[in-house]
Amino acid sequence: MKKTQVTRREWLQSSVLVAAGSLVAPKSMWGQTSSPIATTTSGKVRGFIQDGVNVFKGIPYGGDTAKRRFMPAEKPTPWTGVRDALTFGPQAPQPIHTRSGHSSFSPLDEVNPVNSEDCLHLNVWTAGLRDGRKRPVMVYIHGGAYSSSSSNGPVYDGIRLVKRGDVVVVTMNHRLNLFGYMYLAKLGGAEFAESGNVGQLDLVLMLKWVRDNIAEFGGDPSRVLIFGQSGGGAKCATLMAMPAANGLFHRVITMSGQQLTARTQEHATESTEAVLAAIGLSHANIQDIRDPEKVPMEKLVATIRAGKYFGPVLDDQVLPRDPFSPDAPALSANIPMILGNVHDETRFLIGSGDASLFSLSWEELPTRLEKYRSFLGDLKTADIIADYRKWYPAYSASDVFFAVTTAFRSWHGMVIESDRHAAQHGPTWAYNFAWKSPVDGGKWGAPHTMDIPFAFDNVKIAASMTGGGADAQRVADQVSNTFIAFARTGDPNNKAIPHWPRYELEHRPTMIWDSVSRIEDDPRGEERKLIEQAPYIQPGT
């Protein structure tokens, strides 16, 4: 009997055997153990070979952040000898729950769900070392908003991308939630000036590592793509407005993740006050929060929820402007960018926590939609429902609920961000992922996170999500080839897809990823015109 509810972690989770396979001593084509060694700026690392690909896991790109709490991280302390890089490093501090718990924090997709402030590690997959090939570099930034998850999951494995397109794949962990985004400057003074964005500065430090080391792994530091899904996409958008990140990446893909505005200093300080109260720490003793002996990591983890939301802060230093408001950042105007969403975002974002949403009556629908009033603006719920019933007469009440919440809550920000980047004449392409999962009788449609295994060409690894069938693989062939082409040239066009025109405001050409992928001008145009009548408020800010 199939489950009716799954968590984000279960949705991304795949076979434990696949994950465990990366820990088995690899063999070369001659049947002998092979241990590739690479030299980084901090010391030598030993990886392994899997399916003909050099794999390095858990390479430090920064030092232990327990020694630099709420401050920018520093480079790792150099080591002597050869350091093993065979397993994923720890994840950023966050609540950990067992599989039976259905918390959004439950890290069921992670191979090594171990909390540590020493979490600044990255992973590299490459076909060659020191061979001068200058391969494009695909740097993936994980989702989980700014508060949870990690890159330690089989769905993010880079082997198939490397074998498909001869690219270098990099994934990493960095500081999250209050460890990465708690703004202490107004209460603690200059020492904490950058505290609200140290999680973003971790990503800058990681990109500097890529710049300084990736040639050793056969990569081209002048062709770095950053891409991310959900919170990972939002982190990418935020990096586009950060002077410290300028020049460290050269293409961007955001997948169901936008960041129009950052938190105000006032709003962020309110979260900090709530955390301090939960800890029982006075303003007079605020410096104690940096000392792991006086305030242990576990005590901070226990108070994360007191702050409610953590994310980048408009601090006038690390982040001197909102990422995409009132326009796209001039700093990144010339960077080629792909932006996309999935067709049924909230079937998983909201529906995974409430099975009753899949069997709504028309009488229940207005009340359920009213819970999302902040996204609907002044539009009348009855009028919205009437429009959707006119446009989609075959939709059930539940179909309308998910369509409306997807459009107003999730799709709206992507439309605005696409429009603003295109308005700068920056190279822009837009997509909508419409291929529907056959899992659980098709109830999920094309939900939040669905495009991840297709981008990584890991639809079989993620069979619990994709079904793992031939149709899914055909779509993955197209999506992964396109992401690789974009990393290589800054243009997504390749032989696997129909010609994909740049996004512009007159026709709004959009790639529709499906069993037969196609270009549509202004898809769901009536919905787009409707959501434009409501102000968009960045969640959490």
Q: How far apart are CA 190 and CA 362, in angstroms?
A: 55
The residue assigned the tokens 């039976």 is: 100
User: Token pair for residue 202?
Assistant: 């971790």
Neighbours of 39 (CB within 10 A): 13
| Candidates 147, 230, 352, 437; catalytic one | 230
- Other CB atoms within 10 A of residue 80 CB: 7
SS (H, E, C) 477-528: HHHHHHHHHHHHHCCCCCCCCCCCCCCCCCCCEEEEECCCCEEEECCCHHHH
Task: From residue 287, give the alpha-carbon distance in Å to each of 102, 191, 342.
Answer: 35, 9, 44
Catalytic residue check, 230:
yes
Do the Cβ atoms of 253 and 486 come closer than 8 Å?
Answer: yes
- Separation CA 318–CA 310 (nearest Å): 16
**Residues in Cβ contact with 290 at an 8 Å cutoff, skipping those fewer than 6 apart:** 69, 70, 71
Q: Is 350 left (phi over 0), alpha (psi -120 to 50) or beta?
A: alpha
Q: What are phi and psi of 483, to 5 degrees?
A: -65, -40
Instruction: Provide the 10 A C-beta neighbour count for residue 277.
Output: 12
Enclosing H/E stretch for 338 = strand 337-342
Q: How far apart are CA 229 and CA 451, in angstroms?
A: 8
d(CA 133, CA 140): 21
8-state DSSP, 219: E
The token duo for 177 is 């939630």
Q: State the catalytic residues.
A: 230
